[in-house]
Amino acid sequence: MKFFNVKTVAETLEVIARQFAPVRQPVTLPLGEALGLVLAEDVISAEQVPHFSRSTVDGYAVRAKDTYGASDSLPAFLDIQGKIEMGKIAGLLLREGQAQAIPTGGMIPDGADSVVMIEHVEEVGDLLNVFRQVSPGENMIRAGDDVQTGELVMAAGQRLRPQDLGVLAAIGKTSVSVYPRPIVAILSTGDEIVPSDKQELAPGEIRDINSMTIGAAARACGAEVIEGGIVQDDFDAFFSRAQELFQQADLLLLSGGSSVGTRDYTERVMQSLGDPGVLVHGVSIKPGKPTILAKAGEKPIMGLPGHPASALIIFHLFTAPLIAQLEGVLPSHLDKRIMARISRNIPSAVGRSDYVRVKLEKRGEEWWAQPVFGKSGLISTLVKSDGMVEIAANKEGIMEGEFVRVHLFH
């Protein structure tokens, strides 16, 4: 049973993509509070943007035909008929042979179809000398060029960036339906773990680093975090605290349990929280093999390795995409990886994905990735690293100079 549940990295990501969705109902928020949240509705524009045809330069609104053939040596002559004011309606119809002064952003008058730039004309009393011809539509944006009435402006599943809020503001939306931030609860386990603010450590004790790092990483992904504290290696205490947190959260993360005894507790707790239970029991990856993923009702529970550096790597690989699913992001979202060359040979075992921490260094125009070596328990290796490189399960290693994809840490 356990044997069948050890999965590859790709299989684990597929389980995550298939099994989980936002737990809570969408809420309607003012635009100004929606940055970074995920749209829960398709937005169709009830207006056109811009609302009216606008000049994109300072100049004169004209009929293009009146400028055809105009040049420095043979200017066209047009009658200046007033001036369009910024933010005001262009009242006057523009007739053949006429020009109206217009500022950038000014409304194009009826009858005009283009704008001559101020650099290409000369005013002589009421007469405009035009030294350059324009074509219809030149130096202007037509009403509806940006957004048409009835157009699908944005689809549900889009994480709202500044520009997305901008287009929503442009079409007159003042609030949007978004998924609430998922609530992530974190519980650390282990008889040796003490709170991170304990000053004098007894021999054998270590501070709870994972609550800090995993909590911060979850916040950086947009989640709200409940810090569940630390429980000892005792099944009843562990289960009752886990159950309590699970009821308040959309995702429960259990950290610790690297020793055989604690791992067994962790698995039993996860299995006891509800059906269908454990989906992934171990991933063929280094570091991070003891990763466990379960589901109780519709909600996920994830068991992370106890070593802080392994726990953070597993967080980047699996927990971050899981949180994105709970936020409502469509699975096709962009992963931000950069290409770099590896600075030395790294051997690896076939059949297992290896993740190597790297520091990036620019040589000329190219990024080079230098491996940061150290046992997976060393948190300082992550501080020295900018990201990590995967050595795929089917490879025996990577050669110096080879291009690799670097998954950047926040």
Site for a second copy in 65-84 (CB under 8 A): none
- Least distance (Å) between residue 350 CB and a second copy: 19
Does residue 144 bind a second copy (CB under 8 A)? no
Nearer to a second copy, 275 or 365 (CB): 365
Does residue 153 bind a second copy (CB under 8 A)? yes
Does residue 127 bind a second copy (CB under 8 A)? no
Does residue 113 bind a second copy (CB under 8 A)? no
Of residues 254 through 283, those in contact with a second copy by CB under 8 A are 258-261
Does residue 190 bind a second copy (CB under 8 A)? yes
Query: Which of the ranges 18-26, 46-54, 126-134, 239-247 carries the binding residues for a second copy, by CB under 8 A?
Result: 46-54
- Least distance (Å) between residue 341 CB and a second copy: 11
Residue of 29, 206, 330, 349 that binds a second copy (CB under 8 A): 206
Does residue 380 bind a second copy (CB under 8 A)? yes
Of residues 303 through 342, those in contact with a second copy by CB under 8 A are 306-309, 312, 334, 336-339
- Least distance (Å) between residue 189 CB and a second copy: 11
Does residue 377 bind a second copy (CB under 8 A)? yes
Does residue 32 bind a second copy (CB under 8 A)? yes
Query: Which of the ranges 1-9, 189-197, 243-251, 275-283 carries the binding residues for a second copy, by CB under 8 A?
Result: 189-197
List the one residue out of 309, 286, 290, 284 whose CA is nearest residue 377: 309
Nearer to a second copy, 197 or 396 (CB): 197
Rg (the chain; Cα; Å): 31
Beta bridge partners of 393: none
Does residue 150 bind a second copy (CB under 8 A)? no
Of residues 236 through 255, those in contact with a second copy by CB under 8 A are none
**Are the C-beta atoms of 55 and 140 separated by less than 8 Å?**
yes
- Least distance (Å) between residue 165 CB and a second copy: 5
- Least distance (Å) between residue 294 CB and a second copy: 22
- Least distance (Å) between residue 221 CB and a second copy: 10
- Least distance (Å) between residue 276 CB and a second copy: 29
Task: Identify residue 126 by its one-letter amino acid code.
Answer: D
174 vs 164: CA distance, rounded Å: 13
Question: Residues of 96-106 as b/e, b for ≥16 C-beta within 10 angstroms?
Answer: eebbbbbbeeb
Residue of 19, 177, 196, 243 that binds a second copy (CB under 8 A): 196
301 vs 184: CA distance, rounded Å: 10
Q: How many residues bind a second copy (CB under 8 A)?
A: 95
Does residue 208 bind a second copy (CB under 8 A)? yes
Nearer to a second copy, 349 or 408 (CB): 408
Does residue 39 bind a second copy (CB under 8 A)? no
